[in-house]
Amino acid sequence: MESSWYFLRYCCPDHHDAPLDRKQVDHWMPVDQYVGGVEHAVLHLLYARFFHKALRDVGEAGCDEPFTRLLTQGMVRKDTHRCPQHGWRYPHETREEEGCLLCADCGAPIEIGRNEKMSKSKHNVVDPNEIIQGYGADTARLFMLFASPPEMDLEWSDSGVDGAWRFLGRVWRLVHLIGERTAGVAPASVMPADANARALRAKTHATIDKVTRDMARFQFNTAISAVMELINAGSVFVNAPEEGASADEVAALLRELAETAVLLLHPFVPHITEELWAEALGMTTRLSQAAWPVVDPAALVKEELTVVVQINGKLRARILVPADATQAAQEALALEDPNVMLHLTGKSVRKLVTIPGRLINIVASA
Ligand SMILES: [Zn+2]
Protein backbone atom coordinates (compact mmCIF):
# COMPACT_ATOMS: atom_id res chain seq x y z
CA MET A 1 0.00 0.00 0.00
CA GLU A 2 2.68 2.53 0.95
CA SER A 3 4.60 1.91 -2.27
CA SER A 4 1.52 3.10 -4.14
CA TRP A 5 1.76 6.71 -2.94
CA TYR A 6 5.31 7.21 -1.56
CA PHE A 7 6.23 9.39 -4.57
CA LEU A 8 3.59 11.91 -3.41
CA ARG A 9 5.06 11.96 0.10
CA TYR A 10 8.55 12.44 -1.41
CA CYS A 11 7.28 15.79 -2.71
CA CYS A 12 6.80 17.06 0.86
CA PRO A 13 8.97 15.10 3.33
CA ASP A 14 9.06 18.01 5.80
CA HIS A 15 5.29 18.43 5.97
CA HIS A 16 4.24 17.25 9.44
CA ASP A 17 0.60 18.37 9.80
CA ALA A 18 -0.89 16.06 7.18
CA PRO A 19 0.18 13.25 4.87
CA LEU A 20 0.50 15.56 1.86
CA ASP A 21 1.07 19.23 1.11
CA ARG A 22 -1.03 19.89 -1.99
CA LYS A 23 1.06 22.90 -3.01
CA GLN A 24 4.30 20.84 -3.08
CA VAL A 25 2.56 17.89 -4.72
CA ASP A 26 1.28 20.10 -7.52
CA HIS A 27 4.72 21.65 -7.91
CA TRP A 28 6.61 18.34 -8.37
CA MET A 29 4.07 15.90 -9.82
CA PRO A 30 3.70 14.08 -12.15
CA VAL A 31 6.85 11.92 -12.04
CA ASP A 32 8.75 12.50 -15.31
CA GLN A 33 10.12 9.01 -15.68
CA TYR A 34 9.10 5.68 -14.21
CA VAL A 35 11.71 2.90 -14.50
CA GLY A 36 10.91 -0.64 -13.46
CA GLY A 37 11.10 -4.29 -14.37
CA VAL A 38 8.26 -5.97 -16.22
CA GLU A 39 6.68 -7.17 -12.94
CA HIS A 40 6.19 -3.50 -12.01
CA ALA A 41 4.51 -2.74 -15.31
CA VAL A 42 1.50 -4.91 -14.42
CA LEU A 43 1.45 -4.70 -10.61
CA HIS A 44 2.93 -1.65 -8.94
CA LEU A 45 2.14 0.61 -11.88
CA LEU A 46 -1.50 -0.46 -11.73
CA TYR A 47 -1.89 -0.11 -7.94
CA ALA A 48 -0.08 3.22 -7.88
CA ARG A 49 -2.38 4.64 -10.55
CA PHE A 50 -5.52 3.54 -8.64
CA PHE A 51 -4.23 5.06 -5.40
CA HIS A 52 -3.26 8.24 -7.19
CA LYS A 53 -6.65 8.64 -8.84
CA ALA A 54 -8.42 8.10 -5.52
CA LEU A 55 -6.17 10.72 -3.89
CA ARG A 56 -6.93 13.05 -6.79
CA ASP A 57 -10.68 12.53 -6.27
CA VAL A 58 -10.43 13.50 -2.60
CA GLY A 59 -8.38 16.57 -3.51
CA GLU A 60 -4.92 15.49 -2.32
CA ALA A 61 -3.30 15.69 -5.78
CA GLY A 62 -3.98 17.77 -8.89
CA CYS A 63 -2.75 15.70 -11.84
CA ASP A 64 -4.72 12.83 -13.38
CA GLU A 65 -1.82 10.45 -13.96
CA PRO A 66 1.12 10.03 -11.57
CA PHE A 67 3.74 9.02 -14.19
CA THR A 68 4.52 10.64 -17.53
CA ARG A 69 6.82 8.06 -19.14
CA LEU A 70 7.54 4.38 -18.50
CA LEU A 71 10.75 2.51 -19.19
CA THR A 72 10.48 -1.23 -18.64
CA GLN A 73 13.99 -2.43 -18.00
CA GLY A 74 15.23 -5.93 -18.72
CA MET A 75 16.26 -8.53 -16.18
CA VAL A 76 19.82 -9.45 -15.26
CA ARG A 77 20.48 -13.06 -16.24
CA LYS A 78 23.32 -15.42 -15.53
CA ASP A 79 24.11 -19.06 -16.25
CA THR A 80 23.27 -21.57 -13.52
CA HIS A 81 25.55 -24.20 -11.98
CA ARG A 82 24.19 -27.44 -10.59
CA CYS A 83 25.77 -30.37 -8.76
CA PRO A 84 23.87 -33.69 -9.05
CA GLN A 85 24.24 -34.17 -5.29
CA HIS A 86 24.28 -30.64 -3.84
CA GLY A 87 21.92 -28.83 -6.20
CA TRP A 88 22.43 -25.18 -7.24
CA ARG A 89 25.94 -23.95 -6.57
CA TYR A 90 27.40 -20.47 -6.21
CA PRO A 91 30.60 -19.82 -8.20
CA HIS A 92 32.65 -20.02 -4.99
CA GLU A 93 31.18 -23.49 -4.37
CA THR A 94 32.80 -24.79 -7.55
CA ARG A 95 36.39 -25.27 -8.65
CA GLU A 96 38.04 -25.67 -12.03
CA GLU A 97 40.22 -28.64 -12.82
CA GLU A 98 41.78 -29.22 -16.26
CA GLY A 99 39.12 -27.07 -17.89
CA CYS A 100 36.25 -28.84 -16.09
CA LEU A 101 34.03 -27.24 -13.49
CA LEU A 102 33.63 -29.46 -10.41
CA CYS A 103 31.64 -29.22 -7.21
CA ALA A 104 33.94 -27.92 -4.47
CA ASP A 105 32.37 -30.26 -1.91
CA CYS A 106 32.01 -33.61 -3.71
CA GLY A 107 34.10 -33.17 -6.88
CA ALA A 108 31.21 -34.16 -9.16
CA PRO A 109 31.12 -32.48 -12.59
CA ILE A 110 28.93 -29.37 -12.57
CA GLU A 111 26.06 -29.08 -15.02
CA ILE A 112 26.12 -25.62 -16.52
CA GLY A 113 22.52 -24.57 -17.12
CA ARG A 114 21.04 -21.85 -19.26
CA ASN A 115 21.00 -18.17 -18.53
CA GLU A 116 18.20 -17.42 -16.11
CA LYS A 117 16.95 -14.42 -14.25
CA MET A 118 19.23 -13.92 -11.27
CA SER A 119 17.71 -15.40 -8.16
CA LYS A 120 18.99 -16.51 -4.79
CA SER A 121 17.19 -19.84 -5.09
CA LYS A 122 19.24 -20.75 -8.19
CA HIS A 123 22.49 -19.41 -6.71
CA ASN A 124 23.21 -17.47 -9.90
CA VAL A 125 23.38 -14.04 -8.29
CA VAL A 126 26.42 -11.80 -8.31
CA ASP A 127 27.22 -9.90 -5.17
CA PRO A 128 27.75 -6.28 -6.26
CA ASN A 129 30.16 -5.81 -3.36
CA GLU A 130 32.51 -8.39 -4.87
CA ILE A 131 32.57 -6.54 -8.19
CA ILE A 132 32.98 -3.20 -6.43
CA GLN A 133 35.83 -4.55 -4.31
CA GLY A 134 37.59 -6.14 -7.25
CA TYR A 135 37.01 -3.52 -9.93
CA GLY A 136 35.32 -0.46 -8.40
CA ALA A 137 31.78 0.86 -8.74
CA ASP A 138 32.53 2.60 -12.06
CA THR A 139 33.40 -0.70 -13.76
CA ALA A 140 30.20 -2.30 -12.45
CA ARG A 141 28.13 0.62 -13.77
CA LEU A 142 29.90 0.77 -17.13
CA PHE A 143 29.54 -2.97 -17.72
CA MET A 144 25.81 -2.97 -17.00
CA LEU A 145 25.06 0.16 -19.04
CA PHE A 146 27.19 -1.04 -21.96
CA ALA A 147 26.13 -4.71 -22.06
CA SER A 148 22.65 -4.13 -23.49
CA PRO A 149 19.99 -1.47 -24.06
CA PRO A 150 18.06 -0.93 -20.81
CA GLU A 151 14.81 -2.49 -22.04
CA MET A 152 16.58 -5.74 -22.96
CA ASP A 153 17.73 -8.48 -20.59
CA LEU A 154 21.33 -8.22 -19.51
CA GLU A 155 23.51 -11.31 -19.51
CA TRP A 156 26.06 -11.19 -16.75
CA SER A 157 29.51 -11.91 -18.10
CA ASP A 158 32.77 -11.88 -16.17
CA SER A 159 34.69 -11.15 -19.38
CA GLY A 160 32.35 -8.20 -20.01
CA VAL A 161 33.18 -6.83 -16.57
CA ASP A 162 36.85 -7.27 -17.34
CA GLY A 163 36.43 -5.50 -20.69
CA ALA A 164 34.78 -2.51 -18.99
CA TRP A 165 37.63 -2.37 -16.51
CA ARG A 166 40.25 -2.45 -19.27
CA PHE A 167 38.49 0.32 -21.18
CA LEU A 168 38.54 2.56 -18.11
CA GLY A 169 42.28 1.83 -17.83
CA ARG A 170 42.76 3.09 -21.40
CA VAL A 171 40.75 6.23 -20.66
CA TRP A 172 42.84 6.78 -17.53
CA ARG A 173 46.16 6.49 -19.40
CA LEU A 174 45.10 8.57 -22.42
CA VAL A 175 43.64 11.43 -20.37
CA HIS A 176 46.72 11.50 -18.14
CA LEU A 177 49.03 11.53 -21.18
CA ILE A 178 47.07 14.35 -22.81
CA GLY A 179 46.85 16.22 -19.51
CA GLU A 180 50.64 16.13 -19.12
CA ARG A 181 51.21 17.34 -22.68
CA THR A 182 48.58 20.07 -22.65
CA ALA A 183 48.83 21.73 -19.23
CA GLY A 184 47.54 25.28 -19.59
CA VAL A 185 46.38 24.73 -23.20
CA ALA A 186 42.86 25.92 -24.11
CA PRO A 187 40.70 23.37 -25.94
CA ALA A 188 40.31 23.83 -29.71
CA SER A 189 37.40 26.07 -30.69
CA VAL A 190 37.78 26.31 -34.49
CA MET A 191 38.32 23.84 -37.30
CA PRO A 192 42.00 23.40 -38.22
CA ALA A 193 43.14 23.46 -41.86
CA ASP A 194 44.87 20.08 -41.96
CA ALA A 195 42.66 17.19 -43.13
CA ASN A 196 43.50 14.64 -40.40
CA ALA A 197 43.26 17.29 -37.70
CA ARG A 198 39.85 18.29 -39.11
CA ALA A 199 38.76 14.66 -39.06
CA LEU A 200 39.72 14.35 -35.38
CA ARG A 201 37.76 17.46 -34.40
CA ALA A 202 34.82 16.25 -36.50
CA LYS A 203 34.97 12.96 -34.55
CA THR A 204 34.97 14.78 -31.21
CA HIS A 205 31.86 16.77 -32.12
CA ALA A 206 30.06 13.89 -33.83
CA THR A 207 30.54 12.02 -30.54
CA ILE A 208 29.02 14.87 -28.51
CA ASP A 209 26.09 14.90 -30.92
CA LYS A 210 25.54 11.13 -30.76
CA VAL A 211 25.92 10.78 -27.00
CA THR A 212 23.54 13.70 -26.38
CA ARG A 213 20.88 12.17 -28.62
CA ASP A 214 21.40 8.63 -27.27
CA MET A 215 21.10 9.83 -23.66
CA ALA A 216 17.72 11.37 -24.42
CA ARG A 217 16.56 7.99 -25.80
CA PHE A 218 18.14 6.03 -22.89
CA GLN A 219 20.40 4.23 -25.37
CA PHE A 220 23.33 4.24 -22.96
CA ASN A 221 25.06 1.28 -24.61
CA THR A 222 25.45 3.03 -27.98
CA ALA A 223 26.44 6.28 -26.25
CA ILE A 224 29.27 4.45 -24.45
CA SER A 225 30.31 2.74 -27.65
CA ALA A 226 30.61 6.16 -29.35
CA VAL A 227 32.95 7.37 -26.59
CA MET A 228 35.00 4.18 -27.02
CA GLU A 229 35.49 5.11 -30.68
CA LEU A 230 36.55 8.61 -29.67
CA ILE A 231 39.10 7.21 -27.21
CA ASN A 232 40.45 4.99 -30.02
CA ALA A 233 40.77 7.98 -32.34
CA GLY A 234 42.51 9.95 -29.59
CA SER A 235 44.94 7.10 -28.88
CA VAL A 236 45.92 6.88 -32.54
CA PHE A 237 46.30 10.64 -32.89
CA VAL A 238 48.30 11.15 -29.72
CA ASN A 239 50.91 8.66 -30.92
CA ALA A 240 51.14 9.95 -34.48
CA PRO A 241 49.95 13.55 -34.61
CA GLU A 242 49.43 14.86 -38.10
CA GLU A 243 52.48 16.62 -39.51
CA GLY A 244 50.29 19.11 -41.35
CA ALA A 245 48.99 20.59 -38.10
CA SER A 246 51.07 22.83 -35.86
CA ALA A 247 52.11 21.68 -32.38
CA ASP A 248 49.73 24.25 -30.87
CA GLU A 249 46.84 22.99 -32.98
CA VAL A 250 47.56 19.37 -32.04
CA ALA A 251 47.67 20.24 -28.34
CA ALA A 252 44.38 22.18 -28.52
CA LEU A 253 42.66 19.34 -30.40
CA LEU A 254 43.85 16.71 -27.91
CA ARG A 255 42.83 18.92 -25.02
CA GLU A 256 39.35 19.30 -26.49
CA LEU A 257 39.11 15.54 -27.06
CA ALA A 258 40.18 14.67 -23.50
CA GLU A 259 37.86 17.19 -21.84
CA THR A 260 34.99 16.05 -24.05
CA ALA A 261 35.54 12.34 -23.37
CA VAL A 262 35.63 12.94 -19.60
CA LEU A 263 32.47 15.08 -19.73
CA LEU A 264 30.58 12.54 -21.86
CA LEU A 265 31.59 9.59 -19.66
CA HIS A 266 30.74 11.36 -16.41
CA PRO A 267 27.09 10.23 -16.14
CA PHE A 268 28.16 6.58 -16.58
CA VAL A 269 31.36 6.50 -14.49
CA PRO A 270 31.20 9.47 -12.10
CA HIS A 271 34.11 8.62 -9.81
CA ILE A 272 36.97 8.05 -12.23
CA THR A 273 35.92 11.00 -14.40
CA GLU A 274 35.70 13.41 -11.46
CA GLU A 275 39.23 12.37 -10.49
CA LEU A 276 40.57 12.67 -14.06
CA TRP A 277 38.96 16.12 -14.35
CA ALA A 278 40.82 17.40 -11.29
CA GLU A 279 44.04 15.39 -11.27
CA ALA A 280 44.85 14.80 -14.95
CA LEU A 281 43.24 17.87 -16.51
CA GLY A 282 43.99 20.22 -13.62
CA MET A 283 40.45 21.63 -13.36
CA THR A 284 39.62 23.54 -10.19
CA THR A 285 35.83 23.32 -10.54
CA ARG A 286 33.89 20.12 -10.02
CA LEU A 287 33.03 18.02 -13.06
CA SER A 288 29.54 17.37 -11.71
CA GLN A 289 28.94 21.13 -11.96
CA ALA A 290 30.48 21.55 -15.43
CA ALA A 291 28.21 22.22 -18.40
CA TRP A 292 27.43 19.45 -20.89
CA PRO A 293 29.60 19.91 -24.01
CA VAL A 294 28.10 21.78 -26.94
CA VAL A 295 28.39 20.69 -30.57
CA ASP A 296 30.18 23.07 -32.94
CA PRO A 297 27.97 22.86 -36.06
CA ALA A 298 31.00 23.71 -38.23
CA ALA A 299 32.60 20.45 -37.12
CA LEU A 300 29.62 18.38 -38.27
CA VAL A 301 29.46 19.75 -41.81
CA LYS A 302 30.12 16.95 -44.23
CA GLU A 303 32.87 18.17 -46.48
CA GLU A 304 32.26 15.71 -49.30
CA LEU A 305 29.05 14.18 -50.53
CA THR A 306 28.60 10.88 -52.34
CA VAL A 307 26.64 11.27 -55.56
CA VAL A 308 25.20 8.27 -57.37
CA VAL A 309 25.69 8.41 -61.14
CA GLN A 310 23.32 6.47 -63.41
CA ILE A 311 23.23 6.06 -67.16
CA ASN A 312 19.70 5.47 -68.41
CA GLY A 313 18.68 4.50 -64.88
CA LYS A 314 21.52 1.99 -64.30
CA LEU A 315 24.05 2.59 -61.54
CA ARG A 316 27.47 3.24 -63.10
CA ALA A 317 29.44 5.09 -60.43
CA ARG A 318 29.48 6.68 -57.01
CA ILE A 319 31.54 9.86 -56.97
CA LEU A 320 32.69 12.16 -54.18
CA VAL A 321 31.95 15.83 -54.74
CA PRO A 322 32.77 18.83 -52.53
CA ALA A 323 29.71 19.65 -50.44
CA ASP A 324 29.66 23.20 -51.81
CA ALA A 325 30.10 22.25 -55.49
CA THR A 326 27.51 23.77 -57.86
CA GLN A 327 25.17 21.53 -59.84
CA ALA A 328 27.18 22.17 -63.01
CA ALA A 329 30.44 21.25 -61.23
CA GLN A 330 28.87 18.02 -59.89
CA GLU A 331 27.66 17.09 -63.39
CA ALA A 332 31.11 17.79 -64.85
CA LEU A 333 32.71 15.48 -62.25
CA ALA A 334 30.18 12.75 -63.09
CA LEU A 335 30.95 12.92 -66.81
CA GLU A 336 34.71 12.67 -66.06
CA ASP A 337 34.37 9.44 -64.06
CA PRO A 338 36.27 6.65 -65.93
CA ASN A 339 33.46 4.08 -65.65
CA VAL A 340 30.88 6.62 -66.78
CA MET A 341 33.06 7.58 -69.73
CA LEU A 342 33.47 3.90 -70.65
CA HIS A 343 29.70 3.35 -70.69
CA LEU A 344 29.12 6.50 -72.71
CA THR A 345 31.47 5.35 -75.48
CA GLY A 346 29.63 5.53 -78.79
CA LYS A 347 26.62 7.23 -77.19
CA SER A 348 25.61 10.84 -77.06
CA VAL A 349 24.28 12.50 -73.95
CA ARG A 350 20.70 13.74 -74.43
CA LYS A 351 20.11 15.26 -71.03
CA LEU A 352 21.03 15.11 -67.34
CA VAL A 353 18.49 14.69 -64.53
CA THR A 354 20.22 15.87 -61.35
CA ILE A 355 19.29 15.92 -57.67
CA PRO A 356 22.28 17.96 -56.45
CA GLY A 357 24.38 16.20 -53.83
CA ARG A 358 22.57 12.88 -54.33
CA LEU A 359 21.99 11.60 -57.84
CA ILE A 360 22.80 12.33 -61.46
CA ASN A 361 21.02 10.34 -64.17
CA ILE A 362 22.54 10.64 -67.61
CA VAL A 363 20.10 10.02 -70.44
CA ALA A 364 22.11 8.84 -73.43
CA SER A 365 21.36 7.16 -76.76
CA ALA A 366 23.40 5.61 -79.55
ZN1 LIG B 1 28.44 -31.58 -4.94
The pLDDT tens digits for 249-277 are: 999 999 999 999 999 999 999 999 999 99
- Contact at 8 Å (CB) between 220 and 268? yes
Query: How many angstroms separate the alpha carbon of residue 154 from the centre of ligand 1?
Result: 28
The string of pLDDT tens digits covering residues 38-92 is 888 788 999 999 999 999 999 999 999 999 999 998 888 888 899 999 999 988 8
Give residue 177 CA to ligand 1 midpoint distance, Å: 50
* Cα–Cα distance measured from residue 104 to residue 89, given in angstroms and rounded to the nearest whole number: 9
DSSP-derived letter for residue 192 is -
| CA-based nearest residue to 73, from 173, 182, 218 | 218
Q: How far is the CA of 82 from the centre of ligand 1 (A)?
A: 8
**Å from CA of 85 to ligand 1 middle:** 5
Distance from the alpha carbon of residue 115 to the mean position of ligand 1, in angstroms: 20
Q: Cα(249) to centroid of ligand 1, in Å? A: 64
Question: Tell me: the pLDDT tens digits for 87-142?
Answer: 999 888 999 988 899 999 999 999 988 888 888 888 888 887 888 999 999 999 99
Cα(139) to centroid(ligand 1), Å? 32
Query: Domains in the chain and their CATH numbers?
Result: 2-73 (no CATH), 75-125 (2.20.28), 159-299 (1.10.730.10), 304-365 (3.10.20.590)
- Residue 7, pLDDT > 80, answer yes
Using the mean position of ligand 1's atoms as its centre, give its distance from the Cα of residue 155 in Å.
Answer: 25
C-alpha 130 – ligand 1 centre gap (Å) = 24
- Write the DSSP assignment of 338-358 as a string of letters: HHHHHHTTT-EEEEEEEETTT
From the CA of 61, how far away is ligand 1's center (Å)?
57
- Helix and strand numbers (H, E) in the chain are 14, 12
How far, in Å, is the centroid of ligand 1 from the Cα of 110? 8
The pocket of ion ligand 1, defined by CB under 5 A, consists of 83, 85-86, 103, 105-106, 108
* Å from CA of 119 to ligand 1 middle: 20
Please provide the average confidence, as pLDDT, over all residues in the chain. Answer: 92
Between the CA of 75 and the centroid of ligand 1 the distance, in Å, is 28
Residue 87, Ramachandran bin (φ over 0: left; ψ between -120 and 50: alpha; else beta): left
| Distance (Å, whole) CA 11 – CA 1 | 18
pTM: 0.76
Tell me the per-residue pLDDT of 136-183, one tens digit each, with 9 for 90 and over.
Answer: 999 999 999 999 898 888 888 888 999 999 999 999 999 999 999 999
Q: How far apart are CA 119 and CA 279, in angstroms?
A: 41
Q: How many Å is the maximal CA-CA distance in the chain?
A: 94
Residue 359 neighbours by CB under 8 Å, 6+ apart: 307, 308, 309, 310
* pLDDT higher than threshold 70 for residue 242: no
Strands (E), 183-341: 304-311, 314-322
* Rounded distance from Cα 93 to ligand 1 centre (Å): 9
For ligand 1, the distance from its centroid to the CA atom of residue 84, given in whole angstroms, is: 7
Q: How far is the CA of 251 from the centre of ligand 1 (A)?
A: 60
Task: Report how far residue 89's alpha carbon sits from residue 124's, in angstroms, rounded to the nearest whole number.
Answer: 8
